[in-house]
């Protein structure tokens, strides 16, 4: 176990470590990513030139430096982010000192751990498959550490093939174990999801331009199964967050958003029943089709009729909601609410205020002001995902100078103008549109479908949804975000988008079947097999049974293909001749040599000797002659034995 690694072994080890670290690249701080990108190739290069392991005098300071950097960056070394950064750094440092097979094994074991921890950051099907591919590489590296390979000229092929074979062989048992391993009722340590996260998703704060990152993110946000008919695109507004307060730059929920009873709902039309499967957001809001009638279990209906979960959504979450597409929301508005819905920051955006004042001075009523604004947008504004930057007076700049932007700009400017004109208004963010999978009958809503619109309060009508973006780019609402953004480069091309939409079905199965497989689903899956209450004891028993069956099958396979054979090909042919002769009553005796046998055969069955004699002569010369017999002669002898026809039992008097 103390052999120095040869070049092929070190190469596959380095490749494995590099691939493992690459799976973490998405969240590593730039200083670590850069040092890894320098360190690994440097080590591979110096070793190829014959350098020994990096000495402890340089490794120990580097390790200490790593700890210091992690602590100064994150405050401690525990938790998901600092832990993974530390793990990646230590893995790279381990590679620096790896010279022997034993070190390499330790490094690979640790790499397996680091690899699994990458799944704490992303769990998509594609990412898991990527991790699986690195796992193949990792096992191949372990195989390559074995001495005396069968084909040293092809150092990669055989280990990779064997590694894939091993994982394939393990798949049935792994699937059984996955289904049967008892899930923990409550976490043993920590509180999953308490880490501060950088997951993309709707934020509870909106400043025009913020959403750009989200709008180019094609990952799924949630999927919707409708019990009945699918609402038309114009009705697919999924409400998530209502923003009341504007400080000149940001729209926020305000401190009081959670409290108070839900706003009253009147004249709700026929409800739509549907189930949403939400990807983890690490936040508490839940999207629901405008306008949810009630809150599912473990959620609340906020004052502004948005759904709020009791805990952050760190795992995919499925919930059933009823919504009314036609409604009258809050027919009466309290004074406090009216004040809040009209509040504007002082000393911001004077030109916009002046414009609203001008409209009012012209004697326009609420409706006319709304329409004037929409007409203004429609006449001279452009929808674009790459708008120019806005200055301090963001609404003024947008309305009078740049006139280019997307939903955030329009909803923000619209609500500002409404408030300036004395019409209660607020911003609503959520998702709009989605892609309907006709084959699999579900609606896929991506992060890029994120949207912001406005609600204005009209006397007698309550809160009315107004989407100013629709005035600028009707396609955005009718045909979705993709149509509005146009095709920008190959990544946005239609066929690729179509392909991705088709493939989303696999993602959906993955999310619902694997990621969302919890104790409840486990129970549900086992009920048809007569396991009504899947308590941990029963599950472990079944797991043991599965393990036993797998062991039996594997053992049968391992034994198979190595039948116990006595002697070589010649011995076997001779044994076959013996069984043939036994049928004629001339079974060879253990004490008998070939010539004795021939003599006895002569006496017992003289007719046979013409065929038998040459065979026995042959055998004796093959078996007892000088030198190894030629394989062709043995083959010929085997054929001759097979051709020998022996009459059934010969009567001997």
Partner 1 sequence: MSASIAGLRTRVLAAAERRLPALTRLRRTEPLPIRLDRRRIYVLPTRFGLGFAALLFVMLLGALNYGNNPALLLTCLLGAAAGASVFFGFRILSGLSLQRLRADETHAGEPLRLHLCFTPGARVRPSLRLRRGDTETAFAVQANVDCDAALSVPDTRRGWFRPGRIRVWTEYPLGLFQLWSWLHPDSEFLIYPARETPPPPLPSGDGRLGEQLNAGASEEHAGLRDYHPTDASRLIAWKASVRHDSLLVRDVERRSGEALTLDYAGLRGLDTEARIRRLTAWVLIAESAQRSYTLRLPNETIGPGLGASQRRECLRALALLPADGAHD
The catalytic residue positions are 407, 451, 467
297 binds partner 1 (CB under 8 A): no
What distance in Å separates the CA atoms of residue 58 and residue 56, rounded to the nearest whole number?
A: 5
CA-to-CA separations, 17 to 60, 114, 189, 313, in angstroms, rounded:
20, 10, 29, 32
- From the list 187-195, 237-245, 264-272, 444-452, the region that binds partner 1 by CB under 8 A is 187-195
Pairing of strands 237-243, 425-432: antiparallel
311 binds partner 1 (CB under 8 A): no
367-375 long-range contacts, CB within 8 A, separation 24+: 367/458, 369/417, 369/418, 369/421, 369/423, 370/418, 370/423, 370/456, 370/466, 373/414, 373/417, 373/418, 373/468, 374/466, 374/468, 374/471, 375/471
Cβ-based nearer residue to partner 1, 128 or 275: 128
550 binds partner 1 (CB under 8 A): yes
536 binds partner 1 (CB under 8 A): no
What b/e readout covers 476-514, taking b as 16+ CB neighbours within 10 angstroms? bbeebbbbbbeeeeeeeeeeebeebbeebeebbebbbee
Cα 368 to chain centroid distance, Å, stands at 50
Site for partner 1 (CB under 8 A): which residue of 174, 540, 607, 635?
174
Torsion sign (Cα): 58, 59, 65, 66: positive
**Region 247-276 residues binding partner 1, contact defined as CB under 8 A:** none
Number of chain positions touching partner 1 (CB under 8 A): 62
- From the list 147-155, 375-383, 400-408, 440-448, the region that binds partner 1 by CB under 8 A is 147-155
147 binds partner 1 (CB under 8 A): yes
Residue with tokens 């099958």: 553
What distance in Å separates the CA atoms of residue 263 and residue 338, rounded to the nearest whole number?
A: 13
**Region 459-488 residues binding partner 1, contact defined as CB under 8 A:** none
85 binds partner 1 (CB under 8 A): no
Nearest-approach distance from CB 119 to partner 1, in angstroms? 4
Nearest-approach distance from CB 500 to partner 1, in angstroms? 20
Question: Is the bond into 291 cis (omega within 30 degrees of 0)?
Answer: yes
- From the list 99-107, 215-223, 399-407, 470-478, the region that binds partner 1 by CB under 8 A is 99-107
E strands, 316-398, in order: 317-323, 328-329, 382-383
63 binds partner 1 (CB under 8 A): no
Nearest-approach distance from CB 313 to partner 1, in angstroms? 12
Nearest-approach distance from CB 629 to partner 1, in angstroms? 15
Nearest-approach distance from CB 504 to partner 1, in angstroms? 17
Site for partner 1 (CB under 8 A): which residue of 68, 77, 132, 354?
132
Cβ-based nearer residue to partner 1, 184 or 229: 184
145 binds partner 1 (CB under 8 A): yes
What distance in Å separates the CA atoms of residue 237 and residue 453, rounded to the nearest whole number?
A: 9
558 binds partner 1 (CB under 8 A): yes
CA dihedral 347, 348, 351, 352 (to 10 degrees): -130
DSSP letters spanning 173-203: HHHHHHHHSPPPSS-SSS-TT-S-----S--
120 binds partner 1 (CB under 8 A): yes
Cβ-based nearer residue to partner 1, 17 or 612: 17
DSSP state of 114: H
SS3 category, 254? coil
Which tokens hold the place of 321? 């909601």
**Please, which residues have CB within 8 angstroms of residue 278's CB and are 6 or more apart in sequence?**
221, 222, 286, 287, 313, 316, 317, 318, 319
60 binds partner 1 (CB under 8 A): no
User: What's the per-residue H, E or C state across 454-482?
Assistant: EEEEECCCEEEEECHHHHHCHHHHHCCHH
315 binds partner 1 (CB under 8 A): yes
Cβ-based nearer residue to partner 1, 45 or 178: 178
Contact predicate 201/281, CB 8 Å: yes
Nearest-approach distance from CB 624 to partner 1, in angstroms? 17
Site for partner 1 (CB under 8 A): which residue of 84, 123, 447, 507?
123
Site for partner 1 (CB under 8 A): which residue of 17, 32, 36, 142?
142
Cβ-based nearer residue to partner 1, 314 or 620: 314
- From the list 122-130, 292-300, 322-330, 333-341, the region that binds partner 1 by CB under 8 A is 122-130
128 binds partner 1 (CB under 8 A): yes
Contact predicate 349/412, CB 8 Å: no
Cβ-based nearer residue to partner 1, 181 or 611: 181
552 binds partner 1 (CB under 8 A): no
- From the list 117-125, 219-227, 371-379, 639-647, the region that binds partner 1 by CB under 8 A is 117-125
Please tell me the total number of residues recorded for the chain in this structure. Answer: 653
Cβ-based nearer residue to partner 1, 75 or 190: 190
Contact letters for partner 1, residues 562-601 (x by CB under 8 A): x-x-------------------------------------
CA dihedral 567, 571, 572, 574 (to 10 degrees): -160
What distance in Å separates the CA atoms of residue 634 and residue 44, rounded to the nearest whole number?
A: 54
Cβ-based nearer residue to partner 1, 165 or 611: 165
- From the list 12-20, 130-138, 401-409, 461-469, the region that binds partner 1 by CB under 8 A is 130-138
Site for partner 1 (CB under 8 A): which residue of 187, 269, 460, 530?
187
Nearest-approach distance from CB 283 to partner 1, in angstroms? 18
**Region 152-171 residues binding partner 1, contact defined as CB under 8 A:** 158, 162, 166-167, 169-171
638 binds partner 1 (CB under 8 A): no
Nearest-approach distance from CB 126 to partner 1, in angstroms? 11
Which tokens hold the place of 123? 């769990």
Cβ-based nearer residue to partner 1, 142 or 370: 142
CA dihedral 32, 35, 38, 41 (to 10 degrees): -60
What distance in Å separates the CA atoms of residue 417 and residue 355, rounded to the nearest whole number?
A: 8
Give the interface with partner 1 as residue ranges (CB under 8 A). 102, 105-106, 109, 112-113, 116-117, 119-120, 123, 127-128, 131-132, 135, 139, 142-143, 145-150, 158, 162, 166-167, 169-175, 177-178, 181, 183-184, 187-190, 192, 314-315, 514-518, 550, 554-555, 557-559, 561-562, 564
């Amino acid at each position: 176990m103390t052999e120095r690694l040869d070049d092929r072994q070190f190469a596959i080890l380095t490749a494995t470590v590099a691939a493992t670290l690459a799976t973490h690249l998405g969240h590593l701080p730039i200083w670590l990513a850069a040092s890894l990108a320098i360190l690994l190739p440097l080590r591979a290069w110096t070793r190829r030139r014959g350098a020994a392991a990096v000495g402890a005098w340089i490794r120990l300071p580097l390790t200490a430096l790593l700890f210091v950097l992690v602590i100064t960056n994150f405050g401690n070394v525990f938790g998901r982010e600092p832990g993974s950064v530390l793990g990646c750094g230590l893995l790279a440092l381990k590679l620096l000192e790896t010279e022997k097979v034993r070190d390499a094994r330790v490094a690979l074991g640790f790499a397996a751990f680091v690899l699994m921890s990458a799944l704490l950051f992303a769990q998509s099907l594609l990412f898991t498959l990527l991790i699986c591919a690195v796992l193949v590489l990792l096992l191949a590296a372990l195989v390559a550490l074995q001495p005396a390979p069968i084909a040293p000229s092809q150092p990669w092929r055989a280990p990779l093939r064997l590694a894939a074979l091993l994982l394939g062989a393990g798949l049935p048992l792994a699937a059984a174990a996955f289904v049967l391993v008892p899930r923990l009722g409550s976490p043993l340590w920590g509180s999953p999801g308490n880490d501060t996260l950088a997951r993309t998703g709707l934020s509870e704060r909106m400043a025009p331009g913020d959403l750009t990152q989200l709008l180019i993110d094609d990952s799924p946000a949630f999927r919707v199964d409708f019990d009945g008919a699918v609402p038309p695109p114009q009705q697919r507004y999924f409400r998530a967050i209502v923003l009341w307060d504007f400080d000149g730059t940001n729209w926020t929920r305000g401190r009081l958003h959670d409290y108070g009873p839900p706003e009253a709902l009147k004249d709700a039309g026929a409800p739509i029943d549907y189930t949403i499967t939400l990807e983890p957001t690490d936040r508490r809001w839940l999207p629901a089709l405008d306008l949810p009638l009630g809150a599912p279990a473990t959620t609340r209906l906020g004052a502004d009729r948005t759904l709020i979960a009791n805990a952050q959504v760190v795992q995919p979450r499925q919930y059933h909601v009823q919504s009314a597409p036609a409604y009258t929301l809050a027919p009466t508005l309290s004074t406090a609410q009216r004040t809040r819905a009209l509040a504007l920051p002082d000393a911001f955006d004077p030109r916009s205020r002046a414009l609203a004042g001008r409209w009012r001075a012209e004697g326009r009523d609420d409706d006319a002001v709304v329409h004037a604004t929409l007409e203004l947008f429609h006449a001279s504004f452009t929808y674009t995902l790459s708008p120019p930057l806005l200055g301090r007076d963001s609404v003024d700049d947008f309305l009078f100078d740049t006139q280019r932007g997307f939903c955030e700009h329009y909803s923000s400017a619209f609500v500002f103008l409404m408030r300036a004109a004395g019409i209660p208004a607020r911003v609503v963010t959520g998702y709009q549109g989605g892609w309907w999978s006709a084959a699999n009958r579900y609606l896929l809503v991506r992060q890029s479908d994120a949207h912001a619109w406005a609600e204005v309060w009209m006397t007698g009508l309550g809160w009315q949804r107004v989407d100013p973006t629709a005035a600028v780019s009707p396609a955005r609402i009718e045909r979705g975000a993709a149509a509005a953004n146009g095709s920008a480069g190959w990544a946005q091309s239609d066929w690729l988008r179509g392909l991705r939409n088709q493939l989303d079905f696999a993602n959906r199965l993955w999310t619902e079947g694997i990621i969302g497989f919890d104790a409840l689903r486990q129970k549900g899956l086992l009920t048809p097999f007569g396991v009504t209450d899947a308590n941990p004891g029963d599950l472990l028993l079944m797991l043991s049974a599965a393990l036993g069956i797998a062991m039996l099958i594997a053992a049968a396979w391992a034994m198979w293909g190595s039948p116990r054979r006595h002697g070589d090909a010649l011995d076997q042919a001779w044994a076959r001749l013996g069984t043939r002769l036994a049928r004629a009553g001339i079974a060879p005796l253990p004490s008998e040599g070939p010539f004795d046998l021939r003599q006895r055969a002569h006496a017992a069955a003289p007719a046979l000797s013409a065929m038998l004699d040459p065979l026995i002569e042959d055998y004796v010369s093959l078996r007892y002659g000088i030198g190894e017999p030629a394989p062709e002669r043995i083959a010929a002898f085997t054929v001759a034995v097979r051709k020998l026809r022996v009459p059934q039992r010969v009567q001997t008097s």
